[in-house]
Amino acid sequence: MTKYIFVTGGVTSSLGKGIISASLAKLLQSRGYRVTIQKFDPYINIDPGTLNPYEHGECYVTEDGAETDLDLGHYERFLNTPTSKANNITTGRIYQNVINKEREGAFLGKTVQVVPHITDEIKRNFRILGENGEFDIVITELGGTVGDIESLPYIEAVRQFRWEIGSNNSLVIHLTLVPFLAAAGELKTKPTQHSVKMLLEYGIQPDVLVCRTEHHLTNDIRKKIAQFCNVNINAVIESIDAPSIYDVPLLMLKEQLDKTVLTKLKLPHKNEPSLENWKDFLGRLKNPTADVRIALVGKYVELPDAYKSITEAFIHAGAKQECKVRIEYIPSEQLTPENAVEKLKGMHGVLVAPGFGERGFEGKIQAIRHVRENNIPFFGICLGMQCAVVEFGRHVLELEGANSTEMNPDTPHPVIGMMEDQKNITLKGGTMRLGAYPCDIKKGTKAAAIYGKNHISERHRHRYEFNNDYLKQYEAAGLTPSGINPDNGLVEIVELKNHPFFVGSQFHPELKSTVANPHPLFINFVAASLAYARKK
């Protein structure tokens, strides 16, 4: 029978439920268990696809085209296994499903209520991944903090679910804060006690407490927390601030979180965790032999979480190259023809980030012109690739006013246009070209050398595309379409001849980079930036 682990949070948000869930999953996976993680978010949006990145960080896209919470990116990067739409559920999705059933008459005239109908739908979603036979353990992270109004149905659903599946088949890990009061010079356990007390009021006794702290927990403090929160002392786990999220699995191993969990679930302690590759990655990450400065030009740079997968992909690629990647965030709105050279001074590579809308578009064009003309390594992702196409059209092909129809619907040269199947869509949510699509790579190109194969699959999230009416002009002038979708002929990758590294991808390669498999485009971009840095 599949076992279920629920991860809840108290006291404050941002304690790191996602990283703890991913770290525990990594430890259990390394012991030979088949593990997956799902995230339940209490907001009423159907998915994060329509949320401003400033509100919620980046929107992560799965293989099957679900727009999901950025925590799913952590799950994939740690476990090296893909997630799906079943791994991220929101309150909006839960209510939508229940309301659709009510409209169909599925409840036979009954009054539809939060209990039992909403809680039953939540429990049905708890089970989906556990019932397909693929996993021994399903970890479910509940967003928000205990005591939030919107979290109540989830907590109640967990209470009912645990009662239904019987003892030893599930456990609750509660993340909480043990703050340090500088004036008193001591750690305080009261916030943790209150948080557990609130959980108990809802009928749930946590089995394990993970205590986020800036200072080590003494044995006396662990004893006090155990006594007042009704848990074993070995189930009080210290989660101290770490230099990198990738340290957390080893910190949890030291705290024996995986052993405690397996004991409580009555599961055998299979092999000791096999973490040699992980330790090798950490060794490379922490002992770089060189460093490079790469500019990330985007419109949401004030919140680094808006580009979380890109920054993590740089960490993976940097470790592979034994190189520290120093990312310099540059707001695209601040770039002008007059200051682009100054703003990008000292950079060894420039990545122009994905995004939507006109704000900062012209700044990205200026950045690309500078790196193209000065042979500085360039990598454009999604809108970043489209900007490269517009810039090349304007300044090399001399197509005056060349633009994307997203920015100027009346442009005389629509080198980037809306995809045909997107033109009649009026709804915003979940309607873009989403998820994994195939791509054929032309032999003899830089892309072919980077991937080492001619057929790949990458994840997408866009409405606009390269306009194939201009294809021959671009190719003749040296901007090669080196990756093409075999089903519809859409351009997926462009690259510039006679340039150390100038590559744009319509897809999002950062979404497939993991600790175990850093993405080849990022590895090669970092290598090109390193080569440029050494020449300087």
CATH number of the structural domain spanning residue 193: 3.40.50.300
Contact by Cβ (8 Å): 77, 513: yes
Contacts of 192 (CB under 8 A, 6+ apart): 10, 11, 176, 177, 178, 209, 211, 225, 229
Among 279, 310, 334, residue at a domain's last position: 279
Query: SS3 for 135?
Result: coil
13 assigned to a ligand binding site: yes
CATH code assigned at 496:
3.40.50.880
Q: Distance between CA atoms of 395 and 392, rounded to whole angstroms?
A: 5
- Whether 403 and 461 map to the same domain: the answer is yes
- Whether 31 and 103 map to the same domain: the answer is yes
321 assigned to a ligand binding site: no
204 assigned to a ligand binding site: no
- Whether 149 and 263 map to the same domain: the answer is yes
- Whether 95 and 45 map to the same domain: the answer is yes
- Whether 101 and 249 map to the same domain: the answer is yes
Give pLDDT tens digits along the chain (536 positions): 899 999 999 888 888 899 999 999 999 999 999 999 999 999 898 887 777 666 767 889 999 998 888 889 999 999 999 999 999 999 999 999 999 999 999 998 899 999 999 999 999 999 999 998 899 999 999 988 998 999 999 999 999 999 999 889 999 999 999 999 989 889 999 999 999 999 999 999 999 999 999 999 999 999 999 999 999 999 999 999 999 999 999 999 999 999 999 999 999 987 888 899 999 999 999 999 999 999 998 888 777 788 999 999 999 999 999 999 999 999 888 888 788 888 888 999 999 988 877 777 888 888 899 999 999 999 999 999 999 999 999 999 989 989 898 888 899 999 988 766 555 655 555 557 789 999 999 999 999 999 999 999 999 988 889 999 999 999 999 999 999 999 888 999 999 988 999 999 999 999 999 999 999 999 999 999 999 998 87
- Whether 293 and 199 map to the same domain: the answer is no
Contact by Cβ (8 Å): 169, 5: no
- Whether 296 and 212 map to the same domain: the answer is no
Show the tokens assigned to 346: 């000292």
**Predicted model pTM:** 0.92
- Whether 264 and 315 map to the same domain: the answer is no
Show the tokens assigned to 268: 């055998």
- Whether 240 and 342 map to the same domain: the answer is no
Show the tokens assigned to 233: 């002392």
Q: Distance between CA atoms of 290 and 488, rounded to whole angstroms?
A: 42
The DSSP bridge partners found for residue 505 are 381, 493
106 assigned to a ligand binding site: no
The answer to whether residue 268 sits within a structural domain is: yes
Contact by Cβ (8 Å): 334, 345: no
Contacts 24+ apart (CB under 8 A), 277-283: 277/516, 278/26, 278/30, 278/246, 278/249, 278/250, 278/515, 279/250, 281/246, 281/316, 281/319, 281/515, 282/244, 282/246, 282/247, 282/250
Q: Distance between CA atoms of 490 and 119, rounded to whole angstroms?
A: 44
The answer to whether residue 90 sits within a structural domain is: yes
The answer to whether residue 402 sits within a structural domain is: yes
Question: Which range marks the domain in which residue 524 is found?
Answer: 289-535
Place of tokens 């001619």: 454
19 assigned to a ligand binding site: yes
150 assigned to a ligand binding site: yes
Q: What's the number of domains the chain is made of?
A: 2
The answer to whether residue 284 sits within a structural domain is: no
- Whether 51 and 198 map to the same domain: the answer is yes
Longest CA–CA span in the chain (Å) reads 75
188 assigned to a ligand binding site: yes
Q: Distance between CA atoms of 236 and 256, rounded to whole angstroms?
A: 10
**In sequence order, which ranges of 80-136 are alpha helices (DSSP H)?**
91-104, 119-128
Q: Distance between CA atoms of 192 and 224, rounded to whole angstroms?
A: 11
- Residue 267: CA atoms inside 13 Å, Cβ hemisphere, count? 25
Among 252, 279, 306, residue at a domain's last position: 279
Show the tokens assigned to 248: 């957390």
411 assigned to a ligand binding site: no
Q: Which residues are catalytic?
A: 382, 508, 510
- Whether 294 and 227 map to the same domain: the answer is no
- Whether 251 and 304 map to the same domain: the answer is no
Among 244, 279, 314, residue at a domain's last position: 279
Q: Distance between CA atoms of 312 and 316, rounded to whole angstroms?
A: 6
